[in-house]
Amino acid sequence: MTSDGGARQNRVGHDAHVLPPGHSAPRANKLEAELQRKRSLLLSPHVRPLTEYVQRVRDARGHDRVPDFDPTEAGISATMLLLLEAPGGKATRERGGSGFISPDNNDGTAENMWHLLREAGVERAKDVVTWNIVPWYLGSDAKIRRAGDRDLEEARPYVTELLGLLADLRVVVLVGRSAADGWRQLAIDIPSIEVPHPSPQNLNTRPQYRTVIRDRLVEAQELANRREPHRTPSRP
């Protein structure tokens, strides 16, 4: 397990060449130059174990269904895991998306999360890694579907393996009901905070959720800053 000091040193060491230049607007992943730059970072030390993990999931679940982690986030040094339900079409290259799980993606949900993280003062490059409780795309090329109990059960060993790679993790932010339901089934003793899903439909029809999400992200940041890292769970 990495000490706090070691984790900070690792994060500072990669910030200079990982942080996107001019990273001041959402939907950065709509730019091909940005996507190429991110792909070139996938074997950087802070994210290489996650890239290798993705390859193992692809080997088991399909190479066209599992996006990469965003290497401009904190990678294995993350103290906060943002956990959503499953990749959307805008996350998979094969369906016209970026190929990354990222708040930089070119869709409304990602844009809302991008703004909310900034409003909450969360520094993605230092503290965050973003992933899904079901790591692979669900549904057909024409339509995504919701995660069911069987999907969550099949995803369990992959989530457990991921947690074993995040030795500095202090808090999990469960984004949406499906992620929260799946996390409860895992019964892992890591502090977690549930937030409503930041989809445009959800925030447009329930505008109060924006404040709820932002306030809970602030709470998650406080937990990430003050708690000891979790104990690495044993692999199944």
Local structure of residue 178 (DSSP, 8 states): H
- Between 114 and 89, whose confidence is greater? 114
CATH of domain 4-19+40-226: 3.40.470.10
* Residue at token pair 């500095």: 168
Q: What residue type is 27 in one-letter code? A: R
- Residue spans per domain, the chain: 4-19+40-226
pTM above 0.85, yes or no: yes
Partners of 68 in beta bridges? 100
pLDDT in tens, 27-62: 999 999 999 999 999 999 999 999 999 999 999 999
pLDDT at 114 over 80: yes
